[in-house]
Amino acid sequence: MKGILRLAYKLLVNDKAKFTALLVGITFAVFLMTFITSMFMGVLNHASATVVNIGASMWVMDPSVQAITSSIGMPDYVLDAVRSMHGVAYAVPLYSGGALVKLPDGTYQAVSVVGLDDTSLFGRPQLIDGKIENIYAENGFIVVADADYSKLESPKIGSEFELNDHRGVIVGIAKVTVSSLFGLPTLYTTYYRAVQYIPNPRYTISYVLVQPKSLADVPRIKQQVAALGYLAVTRDEFIRKNAAFYVFETGGGTNILIMTLISFIVGLSISGQTFYTFILENLERFGALKAIGTKSRELVGMILFQASFTALTGYGLGVGLCTLVVYLARLRLASYAAMITYPSLLVSLVLVVIIAGVSSYVGVRRVLQIEPFDIFRG
């Protein structure tokens, strides 16, 4: 069988034009499929930036909340009730909202404001300049130095701005794990200052951050919160809930699915047609092998090997090309969201295996129909 596979390899690569066309078609299809799904995975990751950066184990919210950006205010008694529940080590409030900042040059810039619990500052970012205790100073804010940092004119320690006719002073510069999706700079301050500076409805607690005493207490906390009329989810559940909103409620998931299917169809049509042409051009060779006693299963093995070798080679080239493009894009665009993940690679691999399977099926049917006397009669 090893000799048959070596012969199949030589038949494949010796026809350089057809082999190149097969590789280009599959590589291009894999590149598109991986790039599109990676782009969407990056968007979903950045959409949950606040959840990832805060790092709370559990989040309590209004049941109507669909995504982190659509918080619904809760009354103060919810915080007190959660703190008194069995299994809760501690619970703190979090403010998350948007505001309009007036910069020193007179221009305005929309920002995201995160208000941390005044006592514990739970969820605070890692500072790269300044001291965290300065957030308690008058008008103190911490700015995140991410891809959108320059939109605030790259402020330094001591830089001033206006927020709803209130003076704001940068007292710290921080870095976070994941930057925001929507291109808005992020400011951190205390919870009290956030609700004081920004116009809000009657209820101002966006979320209650909960630390359970143990993992075994999580189900009990969920039940107690549900009895209160609110929803408690773990960090991972909130990330999935947030992702589901963007996949199913915004149309993004449908668009990505359509683009991925188009890429799959392009790759299938190119590789299938080219591989079938390759089989037709080598039909005499397959007939000759059949005439000298090569078994049908060996011929099928040759075709499967040729299709699999081409598909996997194209898969590797496509993934490599996608990785290179994403890497170069990140070098030039700090806010670029695409990220290559295992699900992206798995989706592309499954689809390229289907492409190889369909191409093989077309070739196998044609080769098994060969009659040796037809070849020699010609």
pLDDT along the chain (378 residues), means of 10: 75 80 84 85 84 93 90 93 94 93 92 94 93 92 90 92 92 89 88 91 93 94 95 94 83 77 78 75 73 77 84 90 89 76 86 82 74 58
pTM of the model: 0.77
Rounded Cα distance between 85 and 99, Å, is 34
Amino acid in position 207: Y
Q: What pLDDT was estimated at residue 33? A: 85
Q: What pLDDT was estimated at residue 192? A: 94
Q: What pLDDT was estimated at residue 278? A: 75
Q: What pLDDT was estimated at residue 116? A: 96
Q: What pLDDT was estimated at residue 1? A: 60
How many residues can be counted in the chain?
A: 378
Q: Residues 49, 347: contact at Cβ < 8 Å?
A: no
Q: What pLDDT was estimated at residue 377? A: 56
Question: Which residues in 228-267 belong to E strands, given as ranges?
Answer: 231-234
C-alpha separations of 363 from 88, 279, 357, 366 in Å: 64, 6, 10, 5
Q: What pLDDT was estimated at residue 371? A: 67
Rounded Cα distance between 255 and 36, Å, is 10
Rounded Cα distance between 71 and 180, Å, is 16
